[in-house]
């Protein structure tokens, strides 16, 4: 059997100290195969976002081991983690997190700016291609304030995809959208999973999104079921 693209072994995550310690994740063991679409569902505060953050290398677990596409992110230094994330993962968040003073094109291209692997011409080509993929090429020169929530989320997806990462992490990606727009965004993510064989990990409290995933996991009080 192929090596899982994401593997968590006995992962715990705690915040605070002493009597104020809060256990956000408790003894998590999980394997996700390349190309899977996995939804992690549970109520607010159950540990879903924390789980996503430690899987993606945004936070270190208190204990345990996490392998991300062959890299043990628990052993990677804080200095080197941004490079690992840039190569391995894309992020789509509820709040879009676009840079207000940059156009749609510049927001997407900004992910590539720290990279020395691409020429300016190659960066522009990659940004335009991904804008075409999310059907936002005609809005390339618009600023976030000139776009609807759904359009901003499409740009956020494009930004997450531009470096062609093997894993896409989605944290409540439809939370700021109406139901129809959210459905369209999820169709885009689902199609990317199929077309690119991109591994997708979605965390949400919205049961309506479960239908897009191939596997559903449930969390409660920091425990994965």
For residue 46, what are the CA distances in angstroms to 22, 53, 62, 221? 12, 14, 17, 5
pLDDT of residue 105: 97
User: 194-221 pLDDT, tens per residue?
Assistant: 999 999 999 999 999 999 999 999 999 9
Q: For residue 213, what are the contacts with CB-CB under 8 A and spacing of at least 6?
A: 37, 38, 39, 200, 202
Lowest mean pLDDT among 24-33, 80-89, 139-148: 80-89
Whether 1 is covered by a domain: the verdict is no
Q: Is 198 helix (H, G, I), strand (E, B) or coil?
A: coil
Q: How many other C-beta atoms lie within 10 A of the C-beta of residue 54? A: 25
By residue range, what is the domain housing residue 57?
Answer: 6-224
What's 138's domain CATH number?
A: 3.40.50.300
Q: Is the pLDDT at 1 greater than 70, yes or no? A: no
Whether 24 is covered by a domain: the verdict is yes
pTM score of the predicted model: 0.91
Q: Distance (Å, rounded) from C-alpha 28 to C-alpha 5?
A: 16
Whether 190 is covered by a domain: the verdict is yes
pLDDT of residue 41: 95
Owner of token pair 């915040």: 15
Q: Domain total for the chain?
A: 1
**Contact yes or no for 124/109 (Cβ under 8 A):** yes
pLDDT of residue 115: 58
Going through the chain in order, the beta strands assigned E by DSSP cover 6-15, 22-32, 37-41, 63-68, 71-72, 89-93, 167-171, 199-204, 215-220, 223-224
**Contact yes or no for 163/90 (Cβ under 8 A):** yes
Whether 115 is covered by a domain: the verdict is yes
pLDDT of residue 111: 86
Per-residue pLDDT averaged across 173-200, rounded?
93
Q: How confident is the model at residue 18 (pLDDT cuts 50, 70, 90)?
A: confident
User: 92-122 pLDDT, tens per residue?
Assistant: 988 899 999 999 999 999 988 765 578 889 9
| Tokens at 130, concatenated | 């991904």
| Tokens at 134, concatenated | 């999310």
Average pLDDT, the chain: 93
Q: Distance (Å, rounded) from C-alpha 8 to C-alpha 12?
A: 10
Whether 32 is covered by a domain: the verdict is yes
Which letter does DSSP use for residue 2 in this model?
A: P
Q: Is the pLDDT at 51 greater than 90, yes or no? A: yes
Whether 127 is covered by a domain: the verdict is yes
Whether 11 is covered by a domain: the verdict is yes
Q: How confident is the model at residue 83 (pLDDT cuts 50, 70, 90)?
A: confident
pLDDT of residue 87: 87
């Amino acid at each position: 059997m192929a090596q899982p693209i994401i593997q968590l072994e006995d992962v715990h995550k705690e915040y605070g100290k002493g009597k104020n310690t809060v256990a956000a994740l408790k003894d998590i063991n999980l394997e996700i195969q390349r190309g899977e679409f996995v939804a992690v569902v549970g109520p607010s505060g159950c540990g879903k976002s924390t789980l996503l953050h430690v899987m993606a290398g945004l936070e270190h677990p208190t204990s345990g081991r996490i392998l991300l596409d062959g890299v043990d992110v628990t052993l990677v230094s804080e200095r080197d983690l941004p490079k690992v994330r840039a190569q391995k993962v894309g992020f789509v968040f509820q709040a879009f997190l676009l840079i207000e003073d940059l156009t749609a094109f510049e927001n997407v291209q900004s992910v590539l700016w720290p990279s020395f692997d691409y020429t300016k011409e190659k960066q522009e080509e990659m940004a335009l291609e991904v804008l075409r993929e999310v059907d936002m090429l005609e809005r390339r020169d618009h600023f976030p304030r000139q776009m609807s929530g759904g359009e901003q989320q499409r740009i956020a997806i494009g930004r997450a995809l531009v470096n062609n990462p093997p894993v896409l992490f989605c944290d409540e990606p439809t939370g700021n959208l109406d139901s129809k727009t959210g459905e369209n965004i999820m169709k885009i993510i689902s199609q990317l999973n199929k077309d690119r064989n991109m591994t997708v990990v979605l965390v949400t409290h919205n049961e309506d999104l479960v239908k897009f995933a191939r596997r559903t996991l449930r969390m409660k009080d920091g425990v994965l079921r």
